[in-house]
Amino acid sequence: MPTRLWTRIARLILAPLALLLFHQAAFAQVEVNVVGGASAPTPIAVPAMPTDTPVNTAAGPTDQLGRQLAQVISDDLKNSGLFRPLSPDVLRPVSFQQVSAPTFDYWSTTGAQALVQGFVKANSDGTLTVGCYLYDVFAQNELQRQGFVVSPGEWRRAAHKCADMVYTRMTGDGPYFDSRIVYVSETGPKTHRIKRLAIMDQDGANHRFLTNGQSIVLTPRFAPNQQTIVYMSYANKQPSIHVYNLGSGHSRELVSGRHLTFGPVVSPDGRWVLFSMAIGGNTDLYRIPIGGGTPQRLTNSPGIDTGGSYSPDGSRIAFESDRSGTQQVYIMNADGSNQHRISFGSGRYGTPAWSPRGDLIAYTHIGANFRIGVMKPDGSGQRLLTDSWQDEGPSWAPNGRVIVFQRTPRGSGLPQIWTVDLTGQYEHHIPTPLGGSDPDWGPLRK
Amino acid sequence: MPRMTSRLIIAAALVATAGCAKKRPDVLPPAPPSTPPAATPTPTPPPPQTGVVPGSKADFEQSVVSDTIHFDTDAYNVDPQSQQILDSQATWLKKYPNVHITVEGHCDERGTREYNLALGDRRANAAANYLIAQGVDSSRITTISYGKERPIALGDTPQDWAQNRRAVTVVLN
């Protein structure tokens, strides 16, 4: 894997040392308010990153890469809904020398509150170094800097890391741009739709298909190791759970036997796969070691128990059940004990997804429309974030502040991949080559 | 143009199912774009009476009231109309005891993915259990749930959804 080439360094660029010091009081004014959600996006300038000497690399000349890096960073920040990057015509070229000594007098006239500068440099060993600097334009000082060494093929990851640094420093929330989404690509008429597993960066770049479309595939989910994906496949007309290895491209069936198995998720410690199995018309939740073995039954109700999702510490499981008569969200301990209902309200509740921060559970609310909502793990504080014809299947970004889901506009018959932030005020469509459903947002990349 | 295509398909479908589709919903689905659905019986004109092999898939489709029963929203009970259909299937199946079948359970699109897989399994099993109760040996029957993955009606009206909530008996050749 190309990941090997990534040297995993958030290596600090050491020169010039003097500028590393910054003053807490001076940048308080550029903090981004993410709590109220009502504040306007923060204006930010992300000019093209200069290079010391233009050099041709496997990913193109470094001066061109400098422009592309700035664009990716700018798009990440814009798509978070919390930043408003200045338009390119306002951006003035930055020289290599100015990267660590910005012309604050100019930037303060642009309306930008924050400034992201950086450089790209080709190293003799074929790698690239990307420097990333964040400045407070009003206080005229540096807030943070980081450097990244990447193989040319992974230059976008350097941009995402830089955007993550800016986002984290200014919002106080965790990073999420350097992450991937696995989902089901859809094409063809509804009656015989072709479905393929696909993986992409969270911004839709580096898209690739993982299966060939010969069998229906559904509900892929990342394991914490980021190399394993569990999903459901109709291969050989025997719908069951499979385990896909991203490194080798190979799949294996996880649960043998003739029963329908579906809805897999991997436990946070990576040891178990929680899934649903239907026997004679009755669906319950089970778990099985990820290497295979004997399923252990966790629920035993005559209703449909499915849609399991682990709490981030692995101690509890949110799931949906219609044992009360309609689909509702329940919680139980990881061993199946202490099952109790948490969703009460009008309509039905399905597809619970526990936030990686642990504080909220996202769900699909089924009323006249299908909408994405969040509630606390005790069922209180329910808030609907979206309102569209059919929004379904939420999955959390690694920082627990953004949710990816599938949206099917009425009359289209073809789902798309969308995100919504926790305020519900900012939605974003992630571009995919074909239709897209069942998105799962993977962990922050290592 | 789409309208004309749609009329032609409807005409073809009416010919194909004449006399055996007592429980068809009032509104037929719009025209499928190109090839016929893979997982449902193809609406080709029926072969001439003389060419049908007894005990074959074609024989089954000609002999029974319908190969499909329908369900209410979120429901999986076999209502009296569906019982009539399954009775006719059971009668035929008992006549040909070596024939195996798959019962497919399907849902409409107005449900979440995993719940629909479970609901489709309920529907397939409800139909299968009824056939078993009528004397069809359980070893001859397999079930499969397609959830909302294989609709036959393409639109997003309540009439489309009613057609898609179904269990289909497929004779294995």
Give the nearest partner residue to B154 out of A189, A390, A408, using CB atoms: A189
Structure tokens at A48: 């093209």
B154–A190 CB contact, under 8 Å? yes
Q: What is the mean pLDDT of chain B?
A: 82
Q: Omega before A16 cis (within 30°)?
A: yes
- For chain B, what percent of residues have pLDDT higher than 70? 71
Q: Which chain A residue is nearest to residue B104, measuring alpha carbons?
A: A237
Domains and CATH numbers, chain A: 2-171 (3.40.50.10070), 179-444 (2.120.10.30)
Query: Which pLDDT belongs to residue B49?
Result: 56
Q: Where in chain B are the domains? A: 2-27+44-172
Min Cα separation A398/chain B (Å): 23
CA closest to B157 among chain A residues: A411
CA-based nearest residue in chain A for residue B108: A190
Angle at B55 between CA A279 and CA B123, to 5 degrees: 25
- Helices A62-79 and A155-171: crossing angle in degrees, nearest 10, is 40
Closest CA to A405 of A209, A129, A245, A183: A183
Report the complex ipTM. Answer: 0.90
Q: Is the pLDDT of residue B18 over 90?
A: no
Place of tokens 């128990």: A305
Q: Which two tokens stand for residue A87?
A: 């338009």
**Residues A387-428: pLDDT tens digits?**
999 999 999 999 999 999 999 999 889 999 999 999 999 999
Cα(A107)–Cα(A100) distance, integer angstroms:
14
pLDDT band at B40 (very low <50, low <70, confident <90, very high): very low
Q: Which of residues 44-73 of B touch A (CB under 8 A)?
A: none
Q: Which two tokens stand for residue A192?
A: 């015989």
- HSE-up (13 A, CA, CB side) for residue A27: 21
- The beta-carbon neighbor of A262 closest among B111, B114, B156 is B114
- The residue whose two tokens read 């479970």 is B118
Q: Which CATH architecture fits B2-27+44-172? A: 2-Layer Sandwich (3.30)
Structure tokens at A341: 């209902």
Q: From B38, which residue of chain A is nearest by alpha-carbon distance?
A: A192
| pLDDT tier at B16, thresholds 50, 70, 90 | very low
Task: Identify the residue with better confidence: A316 or B30.
Answer: A316
pLDDT score of A416: 98
| pLDDT, position A117 | 98
Span of A57-71, A101-115, B9-23, B42-56 with lowest mean pLDDT: B9-23
Q: Say if residue B35's pLDDT is above 50.
A: no
Q: Cβ separation of A350 and B38 shorter than 8 Å?
A: no
Specify the pLDDT at position A96.
95
Please check whether residue A349 touches B, CB under 8 A: no
Q: What is the per-residue burial (b if ≥16 Cβ within 10 Å, else e) of B78-87?
A: beeebeebbe
- State in Å, rounded, how far the first CA of chain A is from the last one: 13
Q: Distance (Å, rounded) from C-alpha A273 to C-alpha A258? A: 18
Nearest-CA distance B150 → chain A (Å): 5
pLDDT number for residue B47:
52
Alpha helices in A41-154 (DSSP H): 62-79, 104-107
Running DSSP on this structure, what letter comes out for residue A111? Answer: T
Span B69-77, mean pLDDT?
Answer: 97
The pLDDT of residue B51 is: 82
Structural tokens at position A378: 């005790």
DSSP summary character for residue A205: -
CA distance to B54, B56, B59, B60, B67, per residue, from B51 (Å): 9, 11, 10, 13, 20
In this prediction, residue A151 carries a pLDDT of: 96
Q: Which residues of chain A fall below pLDDT 50? A: 1-29, 33-37
Is the pLDDT confidence value at B43 over 60? no
B112 and A192 within 8 Å at the Cβ level: the answer is no
Provide the H-helix boundaries in A226-329.
none
> Hey, what are B27's tokens?
């509104």
Q: Does B154 touch chain A (CB under 8 A)?
A: yes
Q: For B123-156, what is each residue's pLDDT tens digit?
A: 999 999 999 999 999 999 999 999 999 999 999 8
Q: In chain B, which residues have their Cβ closer than 8 Å to the Cβ of A191?
A: 32, 36-38, 40, 150-152, 154
- Kindly determine whether residue A192 and residue B150, on different chains, have CB atoms separated by under 8 Å: yes
